[in-house]
């Protein structure tokens, strides 16, 4: 029901998430932000079971910030992704596993932009583009077809819009709006919410 | 046979859990002059109406209210515990707790028990220095901030009324109270598991006050007469 997408360019990562917080068949909230700022240049997008999402994401967020306070410098996106995965893995075979699916997007001074795909079974993969949710089935092929590593910001935005429009067209659930953010060497930028035409 | 069987879900052995009934309609919405909280008062055990006079609004402190849906014991116990935590916060920090913090305390408390059978769907409503506050918190771990929530078996009927009523911006206090009352009434009309009386509260900058308690059957007569 929820949807996350990330697209990596040459010197940026573009991410988007839907804004609906649903409870059975009702939309409890239509402007929910599913992105958690781990640091100035790292975002964690989190969907999954109610409660687990916020609790896990905030736990990771606070620990990343604690690392910065203790050591004087921040964890890189790669390190943050592996830290997150390790936590997921440690809880996986406990009585209380976190049932969450994640995308971690970040920009590193030396390595450049990075997008990491993580799922509830604690898999971790660095990928040029990724998506979570039922909407992923409809949009991954579009990403496969039109993605290029040298996409400009506008081209990546157009590709994102193509995906959202496909959801609007074919996905049975109405997702009226999407939060969009871009991470580059200057930090995280909030972009305008994407509202597919025809949706209220 | 086993007298607990009617209350339990199907299944054998230790996995058979006691089925709590979310037979209720509770709602709360923010508007220009604060927050309106409206609830029904029926408690059911299967098809039997156990009570028509249940208090589903829990008065946490003079400026915070909590609503009750799900297991009555779970709701009143945990919200009473929340009241204690709020008081401790006040004593430690010499200022009132915010609605966001109070709801977070409750959410974190019940999250520890996730999956262990707690049943609680509550709205934490209040007024703090950022203005009116309304949070939905449940035993699944959800905690959401919003302008309007309805919880319980009759919630969908209530949403219909409040959503259409709130389209007209800037309600007066009286109009908002009427809307809340009407929404609960309509829900009790359609939902067999909601009924009794409508208990209405208004939360404003000075705290909350109990606006009215109206029997649903009296409201029915009143609305029918108005239609004629």
- Closest CA in chain A for residue B115: A96
Q: Provide the strand spans (E) within B129-190.
A: 131-138, 143-145, 148-151
- Closest CA in chain A for residue B141: A51
The whole-model pTM stands at 0.86
User: Given B107, B115, B142, which is nearest A23 (Cβ)?
Assistant: B142
User: Given A28, A29, A51, which is nearest B141 (Cβ)?
Assistant: A51
Backbone φ and ψ of A97, nearest 5°? -70, 150
Active site residues of B: 24
Contact status, residue A9 vs residue A183, Cβ threshold 8 Å = no
Residue numbers of A between 53 and 112 with CB closer than 8 Å to B: 54-55, 96
Task: Quote the minimal CA–CA distance from B155 to chain A in Å.
Answer: 9
Average pLDDT over residues A123-130: 98
CA distance linking residue B108 with residue B111, whole number of Å? 5
A6, two tokens: 């990330």
Task: Quote the minimal CA–CA distance from B136 to chain A in Å.
Answer: 9
Asked whether the ipTM of the predicted complex exceeds the cut of 0.95, the reply is no
**CB neighbourhood size of B217 (10 A):** 13
Task: Quote the minimal CA–CA distance from B142 to chain A in Å.
Answer: 5
- Do the Cβ atoms of B156 and A23 come within 8 Å? no
- Do the Cβ atoms of A28 and B144 come within 8 Å? yes
Q: Which domains does chain A have, with CATH numbers?
A: 4-194 (3.60.20.10)
User: Given B111, B136, B155, which is nearest A55 (Cβ)?
Assistant: B111
Task: Quote the minimal CA–CA distance from A29 to chain B in Å.
Answer: 6
| Sign, CA torsion B104/A190/A37/A200 | positive
How do the pLDDT tens digits run along chain B, 228 residues long? 555 555 555 555 544 455 544 689 999 999 999 999 999 999 888 888 889 999 999 999 999 999 999 888 899 899 999 999 999 999 999 999 999 999 999 999 999 999 898 999 999 999 999 999 999 999 999 999 999 999 999 999 999 899 988 887 789 999 999 999 999 999 999 999 999 999 999 999 999 999 999 999 999 999 999 988
pLDDT digits (tens, 9 = 90+) for A165-184: 999 999 999 999 999 999 99
Average pLDDT over residues A115-121: 97
pLDDT at B72: 84
Q: How many Cβ contacts (< 8 angstroms) between chains A and B?
A: 37
- Closest CA in chain A for residue B148: A28
Q: What H or E segment, with its residue span, contains residue B49?
A: strand B48-51
């Amino acid at each position: 029901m929820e949807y996350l997408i990330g697209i990596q360019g040459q010197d940026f990562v573009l991410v988007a998430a839907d804004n609906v917080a649903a409870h059975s068949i009702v939309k409890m909230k239509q402007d929910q932000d599913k992105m958690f700022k781990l640091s100035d240049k790292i975002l964690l997008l989190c969907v999954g079971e109610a409660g687990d999402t916020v609790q896990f994401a905030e736990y990771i967020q606070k620990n990343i910030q604690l690392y910065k306070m203790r050591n004087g410098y921040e964890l890189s996106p790669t390190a943050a992704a592996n830290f997150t995965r390790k936590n997921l893995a440690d809880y996986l075979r406990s009585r209380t596993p976190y049932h969450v699916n994640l995308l971690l997007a970040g920009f590193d001074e030396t390595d450049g932009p990075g997008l990491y795909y993580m799922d509830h079974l604690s898999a971790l993969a660095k990928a040029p583009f990724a998506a979570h949710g039922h909407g992923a089935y409809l949009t991954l092929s579009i990403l496969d077809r039109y993605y290029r590593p040298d996409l400009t910001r506008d081209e990546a935005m157009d590709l994102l819009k193509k995906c959202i429009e496909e959801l609007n067209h074919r996905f049975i659930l109405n997702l009226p709006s999407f939060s969009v953010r871009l991470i580059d060497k200057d930090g995280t930028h909030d972009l305008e919410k994407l509202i597919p035409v025809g949706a209220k | 046979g086993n007298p607990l069987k009617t209350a339990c879900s199907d299944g054998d052995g230790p996995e058979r859990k006691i089925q709590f009934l979310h037979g209720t309609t509770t709602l709360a919405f923010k508007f220009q002059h604060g927050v309106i909280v409206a609830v029904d008062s029926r408690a059911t055990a299967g098809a039997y109406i156990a009570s028509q006079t249940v208090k589903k609004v829990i008065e946490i402190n003079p400026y915070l209210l909590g609503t009750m849906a799900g297991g009555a014991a779970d709701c009143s116990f945990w919200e009473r515990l929340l009241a204690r935590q709020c008081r401790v916060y006040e004593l430690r920090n010499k200022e009132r707790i915010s609605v966001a913090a109070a709801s977070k305390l409750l959410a974190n408390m019940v999250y520890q028990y996730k999956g262990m059978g707690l049943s609680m769907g509550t709205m934490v409503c209040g007024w703090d220095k950022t203005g009116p506050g309304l949070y939905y918190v449940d035993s699944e771990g959800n905690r959401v901030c919003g302008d309007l929530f309805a919880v319980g078996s009759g919630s969908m009927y209530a949403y219909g009324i409040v959503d259409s009523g709130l389209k007209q911006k800037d309600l007066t206090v009286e109009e908002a109270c009427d809307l809340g009352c009407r929404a609960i009434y309509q829900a009790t009309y359609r939902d067999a598991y909601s009924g009794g009386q409508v208990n209405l509260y208004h939360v404003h900058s000075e705290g909350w006050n109990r606006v009215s308690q109206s029997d649903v059957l009296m409201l029915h007569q009143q609305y029918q007469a108005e239609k004629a």
